[in-house]
Amino acid sequence: MTTATTTLTPRERQVATLLAYGYTNAVIADRLNISIRTAEMHRANAMHKLGADSRADVVRWALDHELLA
C-alpha cells in the first residue's frame, strides 16, 4: 500500500477518510451531497491509488496520516 497521500484528489481523500470512519457509500454520498455512484467511483479510485484491497487497508492509511480523531 502506498503512502503517497498527494496522489489523491481532495474529494478522494474526503471519501477515503469517511470510509475509514466506517460510513457506507450511501452515507458518504449524502454527507458530501453527491450521488452514490459518484461516491463509489471516488472510493474505487482512492483505493486503487492507495493500493488498498480492503476497508481495513484504508483505515490503516488514515491512521498513518492522522486523519482519524
pLDDT in tens, 2-48: 555 568 999 999 999 999 999 999 999 999 999 999 999 999 999 99
pTM (2 d.p.)? 0.87
Where are the domains positioned within the chain?
A: 9-64
DSSP string computed for 24-48: -HHHHHHHHT--HHHHHHHHHHHHH
Please report the pLDDT score of residue 69 as a whole number: 80
Look-up of cell digits 491509488:
49
**9-64, CATH topology level:** Arc Repressor Mutant, subunit A (1.10.10)
